[in-house]
Each structure stands twice: as structure tokens, then as C-alpha cells.
Amino acid sequence: MSQTIIIESSEEASNLMGLNLNMYVGTDVIHKKTAKEAIELLTVHPAIDLIITRSSIGEEKSSNLIESFLMEKERSIPLLILGEAKSDYELAEILNDSELKDVVKAAGKALGVTAKMMVEKIVPEYYPVSSSLFLSIDEVNCDIYLRLKKNAGKDLQYLKRIHKGDQFTKEEIQRYISHGEKFFFIPADHRLSFANDYSKKMVAVLGRDDLSNDERIKANENAFNTANENILNFGLSEETVELSNASISSISQTVKDNPSLSKMFDNLLNNKAGYMYQHCQLITHFAYNILSSIDWGSNEQKDKLGFVAFFHDIILTDENLARIRNTKDLNTRNLPQEQKQTVLKHAQMASELLRKFPSAPIGTDVIIKQHHGHPTGMGLPDFVSNQIAPLTMVFIVAEEATDEVITYYEKTEKTIEKDLLIAALKKKFTTAKWQKIITPLESIQL
């Protein structure tokens, strides 16, 4: 079997790409988060058949580094570059504005797998589901399979491990995860019924008052990811709406249970919470603290911003896109034009989608549209309009504070000190009306 290196910082995106390449092209996939990590492997691994990389990851010019290495070492390995780039490497193909299916097609071509061969492989009978989702439940409404590779990876076999209606424990699921099983597989024709059944079970889990802090955080993340994915895939079904409301309430409860920001952030890190859920939970924390300290703040306002925190980035399914903070950052990413437009329009698109949400708190569609400081919902927060309403201002400050906390930790592996956080916010928001929103955070419990 051929071997392919994927260079992608988002574990979710890398795993999804790897699953499709393995299923449709039949290549064995090695995941690396940076070009530097990939080069370390290439130095000692002689049998790599294909490399797929983002043109850049953060500040790293990933494709340039890989090209330079391959040319210097005279290694003739096909290279697929995702995003805008220029290349002098003769075996490079630049996939600009490409969807996953285009990447799979280009990979097949590079590896000598014809369209006919791929068609014979396609029509998958099973659909992958993240194994971590099963940590919060103890029963499912369909059979669950593991995927095994046979004949040196040339053939795939699906082995039933959990029968419909069987009880299982969190410890059993954790053992599978610890052995590298990041995905379970369900019959593809059960996907919708599984999603609806899982949503109902998670509503019941989130409603329990005996969950430990760790259990609630894991359940919150699973519910958050499931609700957002189901809305995009299946629309606003009754089950998904109920799960979304239960999840928002549970995230609110987590704020109440964790008044100390540093302790809550530690809990998120200890439970290996993903960036998207971290972002939602911390925004809710900051927004609630601000609203508790200003004279016009109320529980109704908290409910509104809890809803907005949950859904504001629903359109950005790729963590790398959700991390983009301004236009300068966007322009350095060398993204396909289609993805750039999604980033620039995501506030407007999310607002239109959530306008249809049954019984959404009044005005939340407007806050979602304006959460980057632009009344039209177009653009990133390079500047903030003076036409923004006070409650939207609270959300914008809460999101900026969240970005500061996460960025500082990723650079230092420490929780930011309060003085540094307040200074960063006041540098960003200089006028008196904005600093009035920031002032309550001077007494926040870090």
C-alpha cells in the first residue's frame, strides 16, 4: 500500500482527509501538524509516495519548506499544495479553491489510482463517527463497527463491536481510544436516525445534576459539536433544536460552577477540549461576568449572549478558519478564494441560518451578524463601527478576551495575568464607551 503524509494543524480536518484518502484511494496516511515535523520523518523514511500540505500553517511557509527539502535531497515525491501558492517544484500541484473531493481526485492521480478504480472503491457502507462522542452515552440505536486493515492495508474489514441496544461503559470506549481508534463506524443508512437518537440521549445527559465537572465539560463539547454538525447536515430538526438549547443551558451551568477563569480553563485543557468548544465556553464566561457587573445587565441578556456564543462561528467548520482574527491574518494564510469569502461572510451567513431557529432569543440574529463589529456582517474586526449596540459590544469584548487567553496560553503554556489581559483589551478598544464594557473584567476572578 502507498503511504501519504498529510500536513495539517487541525486534527479534525486531517482525520477527515485521511479517512477519505484511505477509503477511496487506498493509501495509508501519516498525520503531521507542521512541515518541520514532516521533514523530520522524511529524513529517516524512504518510502513516502505522496505529500499533501497546506501552503502555510500559522507563520510557517509549509509548502516552501517541503519543496526546498525535496529539491535539496533530490527526492521525487508528488506534492499537493492546498491554498494559494507559487511553486518551482516540478511534481507539485496547487489546489486552489478545492473541495475535499478534488483533493481525493488529485491524490488518486498522483498515486496512479484511476477514476474507475476509485468508483469501484466508493459507495461506502459505513460512516465514521468520532469515538469521543460515545464517552457521554451508554447505548446506541444501531450496530457500531471498528474498521480493520487486512492484507498490508489493501483490504478493509468492518468488525461489529457494539450491537444495537447493548450497554457499554465510558471505560470501554476510552480503551478503544487509547489504542488509536479515533473513529467508530455506523451503517451509512443509519446516519440520520443515529444523529437524532444521539441528540435525545445527550439532552438527557446534560439535564443530569450529578455530573462531575469533567463529565459536564466532555458532555458539553460532544453536544456542541453534534448540534452544530447536525444543523449544517440535516437542518433545524426538533431533536437538534432541543439538543442545542440543552447544551447552551449546560454551558451556562459550567460558568456558574467554575467562577475562576483559570480553573475552568485548566479543566478545558485537562479534558483536551477542542478549540471551537473552548472558544464558546470562554466567551460565555467573559460575557456573563461583564453582564453581572454593569447596571443594565440581566439574565435575559446572558441568555442572548449564551446563544450567540454557541452559534456565532457555526459556518466555520474548519478550526483554522475560526482562528483567523483580522484581515492581515486572513491574507497571510494563502487560503483558496472560496474559503476567504466564507471567513469574510460567515457572520452574515450564520445570522441568516439562525434566524430560522425556533424561539431564538429576540435580537440574537443581529448580534451574530455584527459580532465582528460590522453592521452588514461582512468583514473581520480590523475596526469596529460606532453603530454597534451595547449588548453586541459586550460580546465583542468577551470574544477578544477569549482570543487573548487562548493565544497567550498557546505561546507560554500559562494562563494570562489579569493586568496583561486588561491592557490588551484597552489597547484594542480605546474609546470611553468601550472601556466602560472592559472595566467589569478588572474584578474578574482569574
d(CA 340, CA 354): 22
pLDDT for residue 156: 80
Alpha helices (runs of H) in 164-274, residue ranges in sequence order: 170-178, 191-206, 213-234, 238-257, 261-270
Task: Delimit the CATH 1.10.3210.10 region(s) of the chain.
Answer: 207-443
Choose the weakest-confidence range: 94-98, 158-162, 202-206.
94-98
d(CA 243, CA 227): 6
pLDDT for residue 427: 94
Choose the weakest-confidence range: 168-172, 291-295, 353-357.
353-357
Choose the weakest-confidence range: 243-252, 374-383, 416-425.
374-383
Q: Which CATH class is domain 207-443?
A: mainly alpha
pLDDT at residue 115 is higher than 70: no
Closest CA to 170 of 245, 222, 126: 222
pLDDT for residue 412: 94
| Mean local confidence (pLDDT), 136-149 | 93
Choose the weakest-confidence range: 206-215, 294-303, 383-392, 434-443.
383-392
pLDDT at residue 299 is higher than 80: yes
3-state helix, strand, coil in the chain (%, to 5): 55, 10, 35
Give, for 126, the enclosing helix (H) or strand (E).
strand 126-130
CA 445 to chain centre: 28
> Could you tell me the pLDDT band of residue 442, with boundaries at 50, 70 and 90?
very high
Give, for 296, the enclosing helix (H) or strand (E).
none
Choose the weakest-confidence range: 18-27, 176-185, 271-280.
18-27
Amino acid (one-letter) located at 143:
D
pLDDT for residue 152: 62
- Higher pLDDT, residue 294 or 24: 294
pLDDT at residue 123 is higher than 60: no
> Could you tell me the pLDDT band of residue 444, with boundaries at 50, 70 and 90?
confident
Query: What's the mean per-residue pLDDT of the chain?
Result: 90
> Could you tell me the pLDDT band of residue 428, with boundaries at 50, 70 and 90?
very high
d(CA 233, CA 317): 12
pLDDT for residue 228: 92
Residues contacting residue 432 through CB under 8 Å, at least 6 positions apart: none
Closest CA to 197 of 137, 130, 263, 155: 137
Task: Delimit the CATH 3.40.50.2300 region(s) of the chain.
Answer: 3-121
- At 313 the three-state DSSP class reads coil
- The string of pLDDT tens digits covering residues 176-209 is 999 989 899 999 888 889 999 999 999 999 999 9
- The share of the chain scoring above pLDDT 70, in percent, equals 96
pLDDT for residue 239: 93
Give the CATH fold of the 3-121 domain.
Rossmann fold (3.40.50)
pLDDT for residue 98: 67
- The string of pLDDT tens digits covering residues 323-350 is 998 888 998 887 888 788 889 999 999 9
Contact in structure between 73 and 100 (CB atoms under 8 Å)? no
Contact in structure between 371 and 363 (CB atoms under 8 Å)? no
d(CA 254, CA 311): 17
Choose the weakest-confidence range: 2-11, 134-143, 344-353, 377-386.
377-386
pLDDT for residue 75: 92
- At 145 the three-state DSSP class reads strand
pLDDT for residue 154: 63
pLDDT for residue 124: 66
Residues contacting residue 57 through CB under 8 Å, at least 6 positions apart: 7, 8, 9, 33, 34, 35, 320
pLDDT at residue 285 is higher than 90: yes
- Residues 296, 260, 405, 340, CA torsion sign: negative
pLDDT for residue 19: 78
pLDDT for residue 332: 87
Closest CA to 85 of 106, 57, 108, 50: 57
pLDDT for residue 59: 87
pLDDT for residue 317: 86
CA 229 to chain centre: 10
> Could you tell me the pLDDT band of residue 116, with boundaries at 50, 70 and 90?
low
Distances (CA, A) of 98 to 103, 176, 221: 7, 34, 29
Choose the weakest-confidence range: 35-39, 95-99, 207-211, 252-256.
95-99
> Could you tell me the pLDDT band of residue 26, with boundaries at 50, 70 and 90?
confident
